[in-house]
Amino acid sequence: MISQMRDEKVALAYWASDPNDEESQRAARACHGFLADKKTTFEMDLCQYNGSTESFGWIVEEYTDAVPNSELEHLAIQAGVYCRFRVDRRIPEEKFNDLYRLWIRNCTNKRMADAVLVVRHADKIVGMVTVKEKNGAGDIGLIAVDADMRGNKLGIVLVRAAQEWSRKRGLKFAQVVTQQANTAACELYKKCGYRAAKTENFYHFWIP
């Protein structure tokens, strides 16, 4: 398979595997895989959602432009600080930045999200979350709070806004995937009613 990818000029392949499957973990290491990420999927039953809408004084609104502004692009890059494309130092930082700029662009133009919800402070977007119906669940894609605004409950406000967006559309479940290394995000989701449902190891294989 690797030789075939080499012939097709593939530079990087990745593999999601069960961390409890020791055989697959040994195989990944034997093939010189780089463990770039440990992802956890969090899920919640929206039927048990208590409908808490405490906003701590913040107002959440939908971003309606088809193109992201510089504030949204900046937040998108912050959202990826723990992602495997940043952790893998063989990927140039500018390539990582371009990837997340493209991701938020494809959210505002509705290709990868149904809505982008934002919070503003002093006429500047300081927090955002992208939401989409995926496999019958309300799925959070990107979520970020500007570094200068953390500690103001904005993470809770944005997650609750995503849950309310899902509930209003009649969805019965919500989900989000994040990195185990992002302990603050993991604790935030637990606080907002999610439970860890699945963990996967992501290995990168660079094709020489």
pTM over 0.85: yes
Q: Can you spell out the DSSP letters for 50-97?
A: ------TT--EEE---SS--HHHHHHHHHHTTTSHHHH-TTS-HHHHH
pLDDT in tens, the chain (208 residues): 667 878 788 999 999 999 999 999 999 999 899 999 999 999 999 988 766 666 889 999 999 999 999 999 999 999 999 999 999 999 999 999 999 999 999 999 999 999 999 999 999 999 999 999 999 999 999 999 999 999 999 999 999 999 999 999 999 999 999 999 999 999 999 999 999 999 999 999 998 8
User: Is 70 in contact with 104 (CB distance < 8 Å)?
Assistant: no
C-beta neighbour count of 52 within 10 angstroms = 12
**Could you give the dihedral angle defined by the CA atoms of residues 112, 55, 196 and 139, in that order, rounded to the nearest 10 degrees?**
-20
In the chain, the domains with their CATH numbers are 2-206 (3.40.630.30)
Give exposure, 20-49, as e/b (b: 16+ Cβ within 10 Å).
eeeeebeebeeeebbbbbebbebbbebeeb
